[in-house]
Amino acid sequence: MTRVGLPRALLFHQYGDAWKSFIETLGLEPVVSSTTTGEILTSGTAHTDNESCLPVKVFTGHLLKLKEAADAILVPRVVTQNRGMKSCPKYLGLPDIARAIDHDLPPIFAPVMDLADRRHKWVNDWYEMALRFGASQSAARAAVKAMLASLKSCMAPLAGAATTDAGFNVGVAGHVYNLQDPRVSMGLLDRIRVMGASPLVVEKVPRRLIRRELKTLERKIRWDSESDIVGAVLHWSRSRSVAGVIYLSSFACGPGSMIGALIEDQFGREKSVPLMSITLDEHSGEGGLVTRIEAFLDMLRYASANDPSSAAGGAR
């Protein structure tokens, strides 16, 4: 049985189940790299240039882990996720980056994903790839159908993103692959819960509310994930459904730094809820993160206790 590797990084955290469904329907074995470790991060950092963002370094470490474990590696080229938007350039160039990292890697398969195309013309790439794996035409069609069906559930809110019954809500905004990777985020969501607050994440905000807030901006944000982050943050702040917002970004992320500045400017002009920005890199340590989170939540807790109009315990 052919083993097809899947790096547990970047958009695998969002579409990984759909990719595995495609592989399994073909009768192949999906091999997913382990959860991120310090060794994986160190290896990825050593094999990428200094200008690469943290998520690409994490991806590289996972890719190298699959070198001996897989006969082929799947690295989809994600063009767009929403209509009228474009993906970050790193998604578009990821297969090329993967092939350049180590010439001894197994073959890299890079079918296109263009989720804004409602006619699903992009699945032709996946169909052709299935034939290259030796599948019959009927098996290839079945695999494509299984992937499309799985994508519907992949687009639903992520497991573990639900709120708790904690004392007050805190919006936590950032790319899904940073927040959902316990090593990269250092367990940020769980730490917030343990400290007595309830984290709200971008994936829980309905698209209609995100689109409504984005229409109020003078300029349109053209990146998929970043537009979702900004729309969700503006919804939280303007509806006062959170006591404060934590924005998590990664060092050397161009789009992330730009929307971070936009959010700070918007919050300042609207005299919105408190905002704390956290930038992660491969050197980030737990001690500093925990101290900052504790101080921020203590401030929000104090403000909530002394201002009856503040957001506490849920939306007003």
Classify 70 as helix, strand or coil. Answer: coil
pLDDT score recorded for residue 315:
35
Kind and range of the H or E element at 254? helix 254-270
Number of compact structural domains in the chain:
2
Give the CA count within 13 Å in the CB-facing half-sphere of 244. Answer: 20
Average pLDDT, the chain: 88
Structure confidence by residue, pLDDT tens digits, 121-154: 999 999 999 999 999 999 999 999 999 999 887 7
Same domain as 174, residue 126: no
Same domain as 257, residue 183: yes
Mean pLDDT throughout 271-283? 88
Same domain as 283, residue 187: yes
* CB of 113 closer than 8 Å to CB of 76: yes
pLDDT score recorded for residue 307:
65
Q: Is residue 314 part of a domain?
A: no
| Integer-rounded Cα radius of gyration of the chain | 20
Is the pLDDT higher at 13 or at 166?
Answer: 13
Structure confidence by residue, pLDDT tens digits, 170-210: 999 999 999 999 999 989 999 999 999 999 999 899 989 99
pLDDT score recorded for residue 106:
95
| Domain around 125 | 3-154
pLDDT score recorded for residue 118:
79
CATH code (residue 298): 3.40.50
Give dist(CA 177, CA 13) in Å, integer. 6
Give dist(CA 136, CA 142) in Å, integer. 10
Same domain as 200, residue 126: no
Classify 109 as helix, strand or coil. Answer: strand
Q: Is residue 316 part of a domain?
A: no
Mean pLDDT throughout 214-219? 90
73: phi then psi, degrees, rounded to nearest 5: -130, 135
